[in-house]
Structure 1
């Protein structure tokens, strides 16, 4: 049957960028999940408050384009930076109409964005001339073959943060000590990698057993490192080193052998197979259950309350300085009102030096200088992981974080 040309349709998007993108926790591809994610009450409230406001023209980037076609590989943050001096204000920029939008998590390559500067305020929309300037959109007939499913833009490049949504974990002091542990490898192997078989057991009161249902998977961790607040010295939690994943094949059991009228009980450890290995796994490493997949939604925005914190550490072994697109831990978490999507400014901790230029030597402290931005993507109770979005100097542990 001959295919008939149909008018090209852009998905209705006027509120899309007002809400956010969605990231599926667990290190799995993200965009397909975004299609059916509901609008939260907070997102809807923000959209309603800013639907017609726009931003002052002074907030626009100097080279903000009047028209922009969304490309594959774009992110909401990158587009926001293209238009705004302060990209975390992007919800105020988009022209929105919630009555026409069933799901705002749909922003696709190929859509054209138009900048409206009417009334002294700037708005971004997918309809030319919505501010009263007139104009039409020309629809050119064409044959449509491709599907937009799974192509929605993420807030950030998913590859930068997906590993950190499942790999590093912040636990309390006793969590890993109480977790099941690997006791040996098959064929007396000391170091284990993908495809190897290993044996594990739980603590005395909680053996590693099979349970009804799907096959059990566990993440493997080692040597929880204390995360210490640079200011107070408080231990905020322990960062466990992610090594890989194992699959439970058989649970623990016991055998009873009678000898000299006495029963001798022998523990038979559980059998696990290594199905993924980021580093070599060995005896003593701990197992934590694979968590259920979660949908984490976030919109880049400034915190609604005052934040004054510090960078605790830069993620990675023996890493002291952070580069752009690197992950850091900060000393603020859910107990401080920190949430996914909060954007914070990084202030370089001014050095304390000895001034030798005057009549007498004197100790002085150089001022704290703003050197970049970061965005929280995984908060815990007392600590959070954040992605360094942009920098003009090199952040390090101990630097300050404040409202942008």
Structure 2
């Protein structure tokens, strides 16, 4: 795939996104190198952290505008990221010789790269979130209304496994691959109690083998609209599973499993939400654990947003020398980490904990850093 990355090289003032919502001067990391050779396994977050104290300031040092944040350049192993400390700005460079411990580079001007996109580095560690990219996580009443329903299993089995056939209604004939899920616990805003959706338990995937209304391959076109009696559900073959699949489970179209390579960036608008769940029900989330937060598309949250984690320290009551009226104090929140949003639903988003000096907990705040 051919990518044009001309916007990386010359800091034209018209392209600067007014700090992309970030305040204050850009602060370099204490041991920021003059350059970094990109290797397989690098991420945009990791490279940014080598140069910056605040990795979400990546758009500022590359001088990216709003559109380029959402459709960014791709960076490949073998390329060289060079730091210009006068900006500071980052650019792509090319090794031109010199000792291995002191390489020399030349700045490169706009040109076309034809590296395969599949080799480009990701925004964050893909292995930490891969299961979350294609599996349904949040379903609401609207999803449930349009979801397919498993009405029977092969030979009346209580549960099925890969290779078995299931039968379902409300299957769109134009869609072949389906995710199978079971509605789990409701997600509610810890403060308001608003129902944000249901966190779905992912069960597996199935592929349509016969459309609804087909009695048999040699049934001469007989369909449920022409055949008298009970309707005939669609047949699907289970292709993968994590948990047993049975009658009453739901199906939604399987979506893409790729992660857009959005650069890490702060929201332009002020944003406040809460951690509503720790995925898999663990007590606290550390680095590279996944959390659900109470903001989503309706709050203009998007993939690539970086939010700061703040711990709610609660309140205390103090009576001086145990005399006089008691005074209630609300303790200030403590900022202790950062999360990177990688999947967004209408009222909920999922984020990966990138930095933390303590476990994230339900009811902790997330805000624009």
TM > 0.5 fold call? yes
Q: Does residue 1:197 correspond to 2:160, yes or no?
A: no
Report the Cα distance in structure 2 between the residues aligned to 1:348 and 1:371, rounded to whole angstroms: 7
Residue 301 (structure 1) shift: 1.0
Report the Cα distance in structure 2 between the residues aligned to 1:56 and 1:67, rounded to whole angstroms: 24
1:328-339 equivalence runs, <5 A: 328-339=291-302
Task: Name the stretch that deviates more: 373-382 or 265-274.
Answer: 265-274
2:36 paired residue number: 68
1:309-324 equivalence runs, <5 A: 309-316=273-280, 318-324=281-287
Residue 319 (structure 1) shift: 2.6
Residue 264 (structure 1) shift: 7.5
Report the Cα distance in structure 2 between the residues aligned to 1:307 and 1:182, rounded to whole angstroms: 40
Report the Cα distance in structure 1 between the residues aligned to 2:82 and 2:144, rounded to whole angstroms: 52
1:289 paired residue number: 253
1:352-371 equivalence runs, <5 A: 352-353=315-316, 358-359=321-322, 364-371=329-336
Q: What is the CA deviation profile of residues 23-69 of structure 1, one whole-angstrom value per residue up to 9, with x for unaligned ones?
A: xxxxxxxxxxxxxxxxxxxxx99981269xxx998600100011221
What secondary structure, in the 3-state scheme, does the structure 2 residue paired with 1:313 have? strand
2:314 paired residue number: 351
Task: Name the stretch that deviates more: 228-237 or 147-156.
Answer: 147-156
1:107-146 equivalence runs, <5 A: 107-118=75-86, 121-127=87-93, 137=105
Name structure 2 gaps, 5 residues minimum. Answer: 66-70, 96-102, 107-113, 216-226
**C-alpha RMSD of the superposition:** 3.7
Task: Name the stretch that deviates more: 374-383 or 104-113.
Answer: 104-113
1:390 paired residue number: 355
8 Å contact kept, 2:26–2:57: no
Task: Name the stretch that deviates more: 190-199 or 165-174.
Answer: 165-174
Q: Does residue 1:250 correspond to 2:215, yes or no?
A: no
8 Å contact kept, 2:16–2:64: no
Residue 352 (structure 1) shift: 3.4
8 Å contact kept, 2:32–2:52: yes
1:48 paired residue number: 15
What secondary structure, in the 3-state scheme, does the structure 2 residue paired with 1:93 have? helix
- Count matched residues: 331
TM (norm. structure 1) is: 0.71
1:21 paired residue number: none
Q: Does residue 1:376 correspond to 2:341, yes or no?
A: yes
CA 1:124–1:196 in structure 2 vs 1: closer, same or farther (change >3 Å)?
same
Q: What is the CA deviation profile of residues 238-286 of structure 1, one whole-angstrom value per residue up to 9, with x for unaligned ones?
A: 222221111111233388xxxxxxx982344332110011222121101
1:299 paired residue number: 263
CA 1:12–1:296 in structure 2 vs 1: closer, same or farther (change >3 Å)?
closer
Residue 364 (structure 1) shift: 4.2
2:55 paired residue number: 87
What secondary structure, in the 3-state scheme, does the structure 2 residue paired with 1:223 have? strand
2:304 paired residue number: 341
